[in-house]
Amino acid sequence: MCGIVGGINLPEKALRKMLSNLSHRGPDGRSDYYSGNFAMGMSRLAIVDQLGGVQPFFSKDGVIQAIFNGEIYNWRTLRKELEEKGYRFQTNCDGEILPAAWQEWQSEMFNKLNGMFSIAIYNAQTCELILARDHCGQKPLYYTRSGDLFAFSSEIKALKEAGIALSPNHAQLAPYLINRYVSEPASLFNEVEVLPAAHWMKVTQTGELSMQKYWTPHTTSESLPLAETLDRLDQVTRASVSQTLQNDWKSVLYLSSGVDSSLLAQYMSELGAGVSSLAIGFQTHQDETFAAESFAKSLGIEHHNIHLGCEALEELPRVISQMERPVGDALIIAFDALAKGAKSLGAKVAYGAEGIDEHFGGYSFHQAYLKAHKLGKAGRWGASQFLKTAPDALINRLTNFPASLGEEGKQRVIKYLRDFDSLSKDGQADYLRFLYEPSELTDVISSGAPPHFSEEYTMSEQWSVNQLLARQYDSWLQDWALIRQDKNSMAHSLEYRCPFLNPELIKLAFSLPAHWKIRNKHDKWIWRKLAERKLSRENARRPKMPFYLPLEQELWRKKLVEMSHDILTPQALSQHGWISSSEVEKLKQEKSFLPLKKLAALLIFQLWYDQYF
């Protein structure tokens, strides 16, 4: 686990300055390597083979050099396979297999790797650089080009040390306002691109690029009876968790009261992992820390709680600096607090349950999309008419979201039902998780025309459940969920592992029929069936509680508005002229959840802009 940098025609002084910017990602050592006009380096957080894991690693003939950031969980299996082919190894570090794996399998090696990684491989014979990123995008990798210079890094800040002058990418403001993030390979910097998850790229000595995707979730068909399938799911899940427990360092599990992290805790306990648990709450009636603590005690796990009040919003500038690519949700302060808390407990590794909602259909917008289709055109019209006169409280009772959606949220649901047939296929699936609707952007963006979002008439089309879930592996998972964990954990020199993002578990999940995932009113149906085997009925059936900041509560709202007064000033907004000051002033007067989330996203954007430009 570390930070990596490198490039072509990159001066030695620039490389070392880049490495200095990554000391938080790798405080345990630093190394660099030069070959002609190529250079690479790494700043190491030593987890596996603390003494023998110094990078780069070399092939026996010295032709192939490799550095990487992350963990290869199945390295022992691959090492044995390579040894049977005549390769020999000197250390007990997972990264040592990479040069041999490239020599033996070339790009096919990436599909063989089970883990989280960003990898750089250099062939001194052909003068070609290979970059690759893991299946789900757990580890970041950025690159930039300027003239004959090509540079890559685990963090954007380091790229600045390569002499790249960063400028804001206006074309990506609209996607940010809609989704609350910018989908890879783009970023909010004109000069910076993101190597997409599950892709590898070749860079020649002259800077020519070619890129390929090596993996995507594929839907297959399993016909096993339910009991046998649950046995198989249990086996694969247990193996997925077991593979990630390869370290002797103190570890912490991020635990909520939900079924996913509870099952992870159960498996870790059964496998004898010496782990503590950590939960976070926001001083509301929806606080999950008490239930999490009770469950941890039932397993004999040492538990700790973090409680954040509204003053935690003051941490936003620091956390946004850590994030580099803004995610428009103030909840990012919670991920920072968890990492800071884990580090204070002496942990070097943390675990989380990301991925299950994507594998098995755990988000409310999954169910909303399928229910809207099932209603049919007449049913959607009737429901929209009924909701027009229904009180807001009724809509709040129809959703498991703990905050009041308010009048704007109510109108969003009505419009979704009314206009469903005129939305694109993607729009139908994503509309209810949009922050701003595309039609609202003209009032929000004050400078330049926002990109045009066309909506094609697609009433006869529908995503299947597995197609709906597979879409999330192209941006949502890595650009929304995982980036918040990697950036904030590594800012505190903490490695974050996601056992449920195992390719074998994903493969099994996408072989299962749709009605075993989203079934009537139940999300993650087969996953909950597995939970019923291992947890109490109460824990297995506990509804998913959205993880969110209670911005609509008065103390939180006042603090958010107070910060907006100081930061989203007309003078600050005029520096870039992108965001309408009248929109900001309107949002400051609001008291319901959706408008306050919009205000938080604008505040985050401005804080990001102020730090970089």
Q: How confident is the model at residue 300 (pLDDT cuts 50, 70, 90)?
A: very high
Model pLDDT, residue 220? 85
Tell me, what amino acid is at 338? L
Dist. CA 570–CA 454, nearest whole Å: 32
pLDDT, mean of residues 210-225:
91
Strands 115-123 and 64-72 come out as antiparallel
Model pLDDT, residue 126? 95
Least confident of 243-257, 347-361, 428-442, 446-460: 446-460
**Cα dihedral 258→261→264→269 (10° resolution):** -90
Q: How confident is the model at residue 456 (pLDDT cuts 50, 70, 90)?
A: very low
Mean pLDDT of the chain: 92
Q: Domains plus CATH for the chain?
A: 2-169+183-213 (3.60.20.10), 226-353+475-540 (3.40.50.620), 547-613 (no CATH)
For 19, the token pair is 């490495």
State whether residue 154 is helix, strand or coil. coil
Does residue 312 register a pLDDT over 90? yes
Dist. CA 4–CA 44, nearest whole Å: 9
Count of CB atoms situated within 10 Å of the CB of 123: 19
Cα separation values, 473 from 205, 321, 469, Å: 32, 25, 8
Model pLDDT, residue 540? 84
Return the H-helix or E-strand segment holding 603. helix 593-612
* pLDDT tens digits along 10-58: 999 999 999 999 999 988 788 899 998 999 999 888 777 776 678 899 9
* pLDDT tens digits along 125-180: 999 999 999 999 999 999 999 989 999 999 999 999 998 999 999 999 999 999 99
Return the H-helix or E-strand segment holding 133. strand 128-133
Q: What are the backbone angles phi and psi of residue 313, rounded to the nearest 5°? A: -60, -20
Does residue 400 register a pLDDT over 80? no
* pLDDT tens digits along 324-353: 999 999 999 999 999 999 999 999 999 999
Cα separation values, 126 from 99, 105, 202, 206, 293, Å: 15, 17, 11, 12, 56
* pLDDT tens digits along 555-568: 999 999 999 999 99
DSSP state of 189: B
Closest CA to 483 of 251, 154, 35, 232: 154
Does residue 404 register a pLDDT over 80? no
Does residue 457 register a pLDDT over 80? no
For 7, the token pair is 């490039």
Dist. CA 340–CA 356, nearest whole Å: 25
Tell me, what amino acid is at 293? E
DSSP state of 422: G
Does residue 597 register a pLDDT over 70? yes
Cα separation values, 320 from 6, 312, 317, 602, 612, Å: 25, 13, 5, 13, 11
Does residue 248 register a pLDDT over 80? no
Cα separation values, 336 from 247, 279, 285, 296, 331, Å: 23, 13, 22, 22, 9
Tell me, what amino acid is at 160? K
